[in-house]
Amino acid sequence: MDFFTVEFFSALLSIVIIDLVLAGDNAIVIGLAARNLPKELQKKTIIWGSIGAILIRAVATLLVVWLLEIPGLLLGGGLILLWIAYKLLAEEKQHDIKPSQSLWGAIRTIIIADAVMGLDNVLAVAGAAHGDFLLVIIGLLISVPIVVWGSTVILKLIERFPWIIYLGAGVLAYTAAKMIIDEPFLETFFTANLWVKWMLIAVAVLGVLVAGYVKKKRVTKAVTHS
C-alpha cells in the first residue's frame, strides 16, 4: 500500500477507530487490576502493564496479518468479525478481574487479560491493515498512547455519546465486508460484479447496526421490566 494515498489513510483511520472503540475493555481491565494498589504504584502498573499488553498485541496482530494470506482465512475472518461487530452493540461484557496486591501481580493480570480479551481487536486491525505490516505498527503507535493515558476519558465519552459505539461497529462491519471481498477466490467475482460488492458492504454495515440496535433495545427493555 502506497503512502499518502486515500486508501492508506482510510485504512489507518479505520485501525485507529477500531483501537479506540475497543479500548473500553482495556480501560476496565487496567482499572480493576490496579485498584487495590497504593496511588504511587498505580501509574507504574498502568504504564508497564500497557507496554506488555501492547507488545503481545503487536506480535499477535502481525502474526494474524501473515495468516490471513492463507486461502479461505480472509473469508472466515470476515464472518467472525461481523459477529464481533454485532456483539459489540448487542452484549454487555462481563469483567471478572480480581484486583492484585502487588505491582508485578497487577501487571501480569493486565497482560494476560488483555491477551485473552484482545482477540477481537487483533483480528479487526489485521483485517483493516490489508496485509500491510507498517499500517499495523503506525496504527498502534497512534492509538496506544491515547488508550493508555486517555482510557477513562474514552469510557466517559462512550457513556455520554453512545453513537461512538455504533461508529465503531460500523467500521468493524465495513472491515469485515472488505475482508470477504478481498478473499482471493472471490475477488474475481466481485471485480466483475461491482454492484454485488457494494451491496454486500451496505448489507453488512446496515445489518450489523440494525440487528445490534434491536437486540440492545430488547435487552434494555427486559432489564427495565424485570
pLDDT at 28: 61
Closest Cα partner for 168 from 207, 143, 205? 205
One-character DSSP codes across 123-172:
HHHHHHHTT-HHHHHHHHHHHHHHHHHHHHHHHHHHHH-THHHHHHHHHH
Cα(222)–Cα(92) distance, integer angstroms: 13
Closest Cα partner for 157 from 14, 26, 28, 24? 24
What digits encode the pLDDT tens for the residues 46-93? 777 777 777 877 788 888 888 888 888 888 888 988 988 888 788 665
Largest CA distance in the chain: 62
Cα(214)–Cα(89) distance, integer angstroms: 9
Residue 1 lies in a domain: no
pLDDT at 199: 95
What digits encode the pLDDT tens for the residues 96-114? 555 566 777 777 776 776 6
pLDDT at 202: 95
What does the block give as the cell for 58?
Answer: 503487536
How many domains does the structure of the chain reveal? Answer: 1
Residue 180 lies in a domain: yes
pLDDT at 201: 94
Residue 160 lies in a domain: yes
pLDDT at 93: 56
Residue 134 lies in a domain: yes
Report how far apart the first and last C-alpha atoms of the chain are (Å, whole number).
52
| Region class of 172: left (phi > 0), else alpha (psi between -120 and 50), else beta | alpha
pLDDT at 115: 64
- This model's pTM is above 0.75: no
Contact yes or no for 19/139 (Cβ under 8 A): yes
pLDDT at 101: 64
Range of the domain at 219: 6-225
Q: Find how far residue 142's CA is from the centre of its chain.
A: 14
Residue 124 lies in a domain: yes
Low-confidence ranges of the chain (pLDDT < 70): 1-4, 22-36, 91-101, 110, 113-119, 143-156, 223-226
pLDDT at 7: 81
Residue 218 lies in a domain: yes
